[in-house]
Chains A and B, each alone.
Chain A
Amino acid sequence: ASDVGEVHEDFKTLKEEVQRETREVGRLSQVGQGSLLSSLCNLLGKKKELQDLEFELEGALDKGHEVTLEALPKDVLLSKESMGAILYFLGALTVLSEAQQKLLAKSMEKKILPVQLKLVESTLEQNFLQEKEGVFPLRPELLSSLREEELTLTEALVGLSGLEVQRSSPQYMWDPDTLPRLCALYAGLSLLQLLAGS
Chain B
Amino acid sequence: MTMFENVTRALARQLNPHGDLTPLDSLIDFKSFRPFCVVLRKRKSTLFWGARYLRTDYSLLGLLEPGTSPTDPTDAGSFGFKNMLDAHLEGEVDVPRTVKVKGTAGLSRNSTLEVQTLSVAPTALESLHKERKLAADHPFLKEMRERGENLYVVMEVVETVQEVTLERAGKAEGCFSLPFFAPLGLQGSVNHKEAVTIPKGCVLAFRVRQLMISGQDEWDIPHLYNDSMQTFPAGEKPEEEKFTLIQ
Contacts and interface: CB of A to CB of B under 8 A. Distances in A.
Interface of A: 1-8, 14, 17, 35, 45, 58, 60-70, 72-80, 83-85, 87-88, 91-92, 95, 97-99, 102-103, 106, 131, 149, 152-153, 155-156, 159-162, 164-165, 175-178, 180-181, 183-184, 187
10 contacts: A1-B45, A2-B46, A4-B226, A63-B147, A64-B243, A77-B243, A95-B49, A102-B184, A106-B184, A153-B180
A80 B240 contact: yes
Interface string B2-23: 0000000110010001111000
Contacts of A4: 20, 41, 45, 47, 51, 208, 225-227
A97 B189 contact: yes
Contact of B97 (A61, A85, A175): A175
A76 B244 contact: yes
B17 A131 contact: yes
Contacts of A66: 243-246
A160 B99 contact: yes
B178 A162 contact: no
B47 A2 contact: yes
A5 to B, nearest CB: 5
Given A4-B47, A156-B175, A159-B98, A91 B52 contact: yes
A123 to B, nearest CB: 15
Contacts of A91: 42, 44-46, 49, 52
Contact of B243 (A67, A72, A149, A180): A67
Contacts of A164: 97, 100-101
Nearest to A74: B247
A78 B245 contact: yes
Contact of B225 (A5, A14, A83, A184): A5
A78 B163 CA distance: 47
Interface in B218-234: 224-227
B240 A64 contact: yes
A183 B48 contact: yes
Given A95-B50, A160-B98, A77 B20 contact: no
Contacts of A63: 147, 240
B186 interface: yes
B167 interface: no
B173 interface: no
Contacts of B246: 66-69, 72, 75
A98 B190 CA distance: 11
Given A102-B185, A164-B101, A177-B10, A80 B48 contact: no
B86 interface: no
A77 B118 CA distance: 46
B101 A69 contact: no
B194 interface: no
B240 A7 contact: no
B65 interface: no
A17 B101 CA distance: 30
A102 B97 contact: no
A78 B99 CA distance: 38
A131 B18 CA distance: 11
Interface centre among A68, A161, A175, A177 (most CB of B within 10 A): A177
Nearest to B50: A180
Given A1-B44, A63-B147, A63-B240, A35 B49 contact: no
Contacts of B45: 1, 4, 91
A178 B10 CA distance: 9
B130 interface: no
Nearest to A76: B245
B106 to A, nearest CB: 18
Contacts of B49: 91-92, 95, 180-181, 183-184, 187
Contacts of B244: 66-67, 75-78
A115 to B, nearest CB: 17
B176 interface: yes
